[in-house]
Amino acid sequence: MRLLEERIRKDGVVKEGQVLKVDSFINHQMDIHLFNEMGKEFKRLFADKNINKILTIEASGIGLACIIAQHFDVPVVFAKKAKSINLDGEMYCTKIESFTHKRVYDVIVSKKFLSEDDHVLIIDDFLANGCAVAGLVDLVRSAGATVEGVGIAVEKGFQQGGQLLRDKGLQVESLAIVESMNHETGEIVFREQ
Amino acid sequence: MRLLEERIRKDGVVKEGQVLKVDSFINHQMDIHLFNEMGKEFKRLFADKNINKILTIEASGIGLACIIAQHFDVPVVFAKKAKSINLDGEMYCTKIESFTHKRVYDVIVSKKFLSEDDHVLIIDDFLANGCAVAGLVDLVRSAGATVEGVGIAVEKGFQQGGQLLRDKGLQVESLAIVESMNHETGEIVFREQ
């Protein structure tokens, strides 16, 4: 998506250690106009899918998911990072490893909000190693629901997550895929799509 | 706001210990249509204010804030619960006590996203003791910015937060104010507004 790539080139900041900061428009301050354009593009990319729910994970995916949801006219459910596992049987649980925070989270969704009738679009702001999305796929499948697709704002194409998920047959659509970036020059190369 | 009160009566669940669960439409599964109606109402309530930014706190305020932001045509910034205080001077910091989680969080906003030119509407899903909103007010004022108002979905009118904030001269608008509730009968009484 040209608009997002241009915005990343303009306002994204490449930091040492292959870190791409997009906190001025995606995941700390949020540009709602841009999110709406992304929503239109996801609607186009998943036009043939019968989606009735969007699933994301707290925190930075939530805003994007809510704006995108308007283009599909569906509710959003966000998975929560649990302080402690709820053992009362009311929750679907999975574990997600965060490389950023160097820890493993228990992640939960109430059984009330995912069922076998659901056709789910998973939304997140970033895809790198793919652990968060894999965890969300696991939650959807625990409920007997169907993953119709995965929509990502920014994929780090030089990490393995996108490839692993596509190899499993999932339709993964990333609006910008970074092939490489250089923190000394600030240069960012996007994959042609 | 009649629509929200009716929805709380229909789908809210009163639990022991003065807990009101609205997780099927506000803070776990999110009804985007309802959020848009709330956005219209906040726009009406704050029509005379010149708002250029919305501030909320992760996680459950983010979705609501993003949908509301469309009605004001402004960006959203969400304050983050920090794992550890960032001492490099790039962040405004405050402390917020969470009674739900029985702990104190360090909460941060990047200095890049709040400045003395900002006229801020604070948005959150719940107002009870008011600690979260007071922390957000503190962050806005640390930046030399102006708090134009506070927009809340559900206020627990029998707790002191709303009164404390209004006593400080803040315009606090809560779309539903619960005066009392009974977990045995399920009855919820709203304040007349």
- Kindly state whether B80 is in contact with chain A, defined as any CB-CB distance less than 8 angstroms: yes
Residue B13 CB partners (closer than 8 Å, separation 6+): B20, B21, B186
Pairwise CB contact (< 8 Å): B78 & A28: yes
Q: For residue B36, list chain A residues with Cβ-Cβ distance below 8 A.
A: 70
| B112 close contact with A: CB closer than 8 A | yes
- What domain count does chain B have? 1
Inter-chain CB proximity B112 and A67 less than 8 Å: no
Percentages helix, strand, coil for chain A (3-state, rounded to 5) are 30, 35, 35
Interface test with B, best of A78, A98, A110 (most B CBs within 10 A): A78
- The tokens describing A103, both together, are 């820890």
pTM over the 0.95 mark: yes
Query: Smallest CA–CA separation between B33 and chain A, in Å?
Result: 8
**In whole angstroms, what is the distance from residue A33 CA to residue A36 CA?**
5
Report the chain B residue with the minimal C-alpha distance to residue A103.
B83
Cβ contacts of A32 on chain B, cutoff 8 Å = 66, 69-70, 74-76
The CA-CA-CA angle for residues B64, B70, B72, to 5°, reads: 105
Residue-wise pLDDT for B128-138, tens only, equals: 999 999 999 99
- B58 reaches A (C-beta below 8 A): yes
Q: Is A186 on the interface with B (CB under 8 A)?
A: no
CATH number at residue A172: 3.40.50.2020
Q: Which domain holds residue B48?
A: 2-190
- Note whether B113 contacts A: Cβ–Cβ < 8 A: yes
Residue A193 lies in a domain: no
Tell me the pLDDT of chain A (193 aa) as tens digits.
999 999 999 999 999 999 999 999 999 999 999 999 999 999 999 999 999 999 999 999 999 999 999 999 999 999 999 876 555 669 999 999 987 778 899 999 999 999 999 999 999 999 999 999 999 999 999 999 999 999 999 999 999 999 999 999 999 999 999 999 999 999 999 999 9
Positive/negative CA dihedral, B125, B129, B132, B133: positive
